[in-house]
Structure 1
Amino acid sequence: MTTAPPIELRTFTTLDTARGDLLDVYADVRAPLLHLPNYAATAFGERLDRHATEPGFTAVLAYAGGHPVGYVYGNTIEHGDRYWQRTEPAPADEYTERPAAALKEIGVRTQWRGTGTARRLHDAFLATRDEPYVTLMVNSAAGDGKVHALYRSWGYEDLGESQPSAASPVLTVMIRVAG
């Protein structure tokens, strides 16, 4: 892991002041994929706007020298949420009968990868949560499997698969105890 200059973490519960920075970092992080419909900046903006209106929305952004270098955001999902309905096989009631935190996106600019920034963002997001579990979806092919392996090293376990939209690849649904 590379040592990085200090970062400042800022937590937001609305998009009012964070939206532009989230879109800016997203476009940089996903630049090689922006030509694909599911990864287009406009598609991300639509998802972000929708997620920001859902219960428990929280975003944490990392700043270095006043510039955004990474982000994470998510919200609360309840029993019966479409998130769980799209997961195959259906998750055990243990995971779905109570609210869970859904980590919807995490991204760190290339020059900040390997510095611990993603983990700091992740942990800061979890520090805002009181749900017993946190879940996320990952494209198992991302980074030639390295992203999936990273989440496993953070304590996540595979739970099933989901295809959130027709334009989305099939994603691996992962879960872990939030605390």
Structure 2
Amino acid sequence: MELRHYTELTLEVRRDLLAVYVDVRAPLLHLANYRVEAFAERLDRHAGEPGFEVVLGYDRGEAIGYAYVNALSPDDRWWKRMAEPLPAGFTALSTVALKEIGVRAPWRGTGVARRIHDALLAHRTEERVTLLVNPLAGDGKVQALYESWGYVSINAQQPAPESPRLIAMVRANG
């Protein structure tokens, strides 16, 4: 597998990322929050935010997986959408948010997701990383996978009215 890092969302990167997204999320594309157009709008917005970076994985030239992040500021809306108040000073630590990760079915369970994840975070200087996970995804297996990577649940949020309630997780970066 070849891993490619990008800090800009070029047309080629956007095309490859959306192709993987459509494949990965196919069973959910009928839901408003998972529609390709809704994801593309989020992706375009995230690409313009501080600290944007994406890693795409390729197997023999075919895009097979991706992950992307943004840096969070202490007053970022990410923190403001939490269901419960966060402890005083919690947002003061430098944090990067893993906004999205996906791997096409034939490559799942092979370690591709972890390799993409780790490559994306390897040179980031933030002290910790946070993500949101649907606790129902894979009947809880996705959240369990993140827990095996060192993430712990800290809160919950519902980023948009049409989105499911998601579990906020965090871990040290490094």
The runs of 5 or more residues in structure 1 that have no matched partner are: 1-6
Task: Quote the offset at 1:93 in angstroms.
Answer: 4.0
Quick one: structure 1 residues 177 and 67, their matched pair in 2 at CA, closer, same or farther if it must change by over 3 Å?
same
Correspondences of 1:17-28 after superposition (within 5 Å): 17-28=12-23
> Equivalent residue of 1:21, what SS?
helix
**1:3 — aligned with what?**
none
> Equivalent residue of 2:69, what SS?
strand
> Equivalent residue of 2:102, what SS?
strand
Quick one: structure 1 residues 89 and 68, their matched pair in 2 at CA, closer, same or farther if it must change by over 3 Å?
same
- For 1:120-178, what per-residue CA distance to the aligned partner results, in whole angstroms no more than 9, with x for missing partners? 01101111311001000000000000000000000000010000001100000000001
2:86 to 86, 91, 94: 91
1:104 to 85, 99, 103: 99
Task: Quote the offset at 1:95 in angstroms.
Answer: 3.5
2:166 to 164, 171, 177: 171
**1:13 — aligned with what?**
7
Whole-angstrom CA distance in 2 between matches of 1:170 and 1:59: 25
**1:157 — aligned with what?**
152
In structure 2, give the amino acid aligned to 1:118: A
Aligned length: 173
> Equivalent residue of 2:142, what SS?
helix
Whole-angstrom CA distance in 2 between matches of 1:130 and 1:92: 23
**1:4 — aligned with what?**
none
> Equivalent residue of 2:85, what SS?
coil
Task: Quote the offset at 1:89 in angstroms.
Answer: 1.6
RMSD of aligned C-alpha atoms? 0.9
Asked if the contact 1:158–1:174 (Cα under 8 Å) also holds between the matched residues in 2, the reply is yes
- For 1:76-122, what per-residue CA distance to the aligned partner results, in whole angstroms no more than 9, with x for missing partners? 01101110000122223453113310000000000000000000011
In structure 2, give the amino acid aligned to 1:51: H
**1:119 — aligned with what?**
114
Query: Hey, which bits of structure 1, 4+ residues long, moved more than 2 A?
Result: 90-95
**1:72 — aligned with what?**
67
In structure 2, give the amino acid aligned to 1:119: R
Seq. identity, %: 56
Whole-angstrom CA distance in 1 between matches of 2:145 and 2:39: 23
In structure 1, give the amino acid aligned to 2:101: I
Asked if the contact 1:95–1:133 (Cα under 8 Å) also holds between the matched residues in 2, the reply is no
Whole-angstrom CA distance in 1 between matches of 2:149 and 2:87: 21
